[in-house]
Structure 1
Amino acid sequence: MIHGETEEDFAGVTKLTSGADYAVLVDTTGFVDSNGNLLPNNIYTVTNVKPVTDKQFYVLCATGTLIATPISADVLLANAKSAKIQEITQAYASAVNSTFTSSATGTALVYNFSNVGVEGTPSPQDTWNDLFKAIDKNLLPSTAFPMPITLANGTVVNHTQAQLQQIEADIAAWKFPLYQKYQKLVTGDIPNATTIDGVNAIKW
């Protein structure tokens, strides 16, 4: 079955020289014609292919008849909402894996959230959560501090245990509003939108 919404969706098919508009290879596995006969995979000639707004085109029978089936307004709105949720989810993931600012050292510094950047460790990509768990459970020896942390700009700054604990609080204060914003959009604004224009107007 081949389907699309405009003529451009059929760009991969072959133009015929015999007068027909297109030759389309239709995967008809498991489909039947109007007589109930299983259709073989074959090339059907399809004539008079024209773009129709908000339609899906289906090749439904062995004669190559092209039928334009309207897509309901409800389906179009649901598709728009699904696409918007994916867009917002990607924006949220990008936001929470970017950089954050903390003044734990007494100076506003910018850190990468995607990795801690602890200098001299076997795995500098360890997450902040891993580090905070180790600190909160007193798993690190006193000799681990001050701990060298690489900032977003590549500068290395030593941090005391208390400063790292303050960074933990700063991260929570930074991330929670982002999470609240994400939840409001994907569980409230998007589902409650009643038009496609309304959905498209929603931005991160």
Structure 2
Amino acid sequence: MKKLLFTFITLICIVGLANAQNFGKAGSIELSGQVAFSSSTAVANGTTDTESATVFEIAPYVGYFIIDGFELGFMPWFTISKQAHVTDSRTQYLLFLAPSYNFLLKGNVVPFIEGLVGYTGYSQGSSKGSGISFGGGGGIKILVGKSALVRAGVYYVMIDVSPEGASKRVGSNELQFMAGFGIVLGK
């Protein structure tokens, strides 16, 4: 809890130094991301299971506007999950290039569309797999004050984590709603 509070206070201090007035202009930088945690415990016939399934995800994002509205981003996305009654946890990583177009309207709401393409992999005990994954999505970015950013969107991602020698894709198709916050740095 202390680390979370320290991170939040540090972010607030940094936000005070940044400037969102240049958001979306060539040369500006977006630093954002999202974090998620979930835990679920099965209940059957009124009896609660003794173990829970947990998932922790973190997806930081950095984007650089190469021209007004067009952003070239990088999103490393890490997931650690542990299923109930399974010994080994599963670690999955996704390293995405994330080009996006931001519709620079008047006001503080910025709709965007984004593509995702990159390398993915996982490990769970002695099992490993990797592949090329891709997807896309869209949403809105809301500029708050002079430097803060709230980001929300819907993404569809085809994840490939095929083991070596697999003749067909092994992975998942995911539809996700993601929300997070960030800061904007001008030139």
Name the TM tier (shorter chain). under 0.3
Higher strand share: 2
TM-score (norm 1): 0.20
Which fold has the larger relative contact order, with Cα–Cα distance below 8 Å and residues 6 or more apart in sequence? 2
TM-score (norm 2): 0.21
When Rg is computed on C-alpha atoms for both structures, the one with the higher figure is 1
